[in-house]
Amino acid sequence: MLILTAFSTTRPIRGLRTALIATLAALGQSRSAGACGPLPRYFSATSLALLCCLPGVLHAEGAQRGSWTVGAGSTTVLAEYYEIQGSDCRALRAPPVVIKTRPTQGKLVINTTTGQADKPAKCRNVEVPVTRVLYHAGPQLGSETVGWEIFFQSRELGTRSVQGTVTVTARQPSRR
């Protein structure tokens, strides 16, 4: 009996492909050595389906990408999240956000406040709890990577990941 386990948190499809290829190779070697009977036909079809179809499914679940430009020493809202039931315009709790990739030059802050919904249209101007992702830029210029996860109550939305690059530029002089 052959049992292989391979999983990569950063690239799950790579782990699945590796496990599948290793399983096929091991079954082929043991088959050629006469250790087991003929390779079941359904196994080949299942393998092909996994190799061809699963990458698209997993890629669709991938992280959302973003890019932001912030003036040195300033604070910018990178994202806002809220949930509202479209059927009766009932506000749900603010979705929790967890920082996964912390910046080194600035500071990423998660706070909860209230705001007004803009979608769906019939629920416009309904007050909802909002989770905000803020970036406080330091004095250093340059770019850095940030990332976080949002946990929605809705099963359709589930958990979403966001990764992006924040570029800190020289602050624009104020016009008088």
pLDDT 10s digits, 4-30: 223 333 334 444 444 444 444 544 444
d(CA 1, CA 143): 51
Q: What is the mean pLDDT of residues 42-63?
A: 41
Q: What is the pLDDT of residues 63-112, one digit of tens each?
A: 799 999 999 999 999 999 999 998 899 999 999 999 999 999 999 999 99
d(CA 91, CA 154): 12
- The number of angstroms, rounded, from the C-alpha of 101 to the middle of its chain's C-alpha atoms is 12
**64-169 CATH choice from 1.20.120, 3.30.200, 1.10.10, 2.60.40:** 2.60.40
pTM for this prediction: 0.62
Fill in the amino acid letter for 124: R
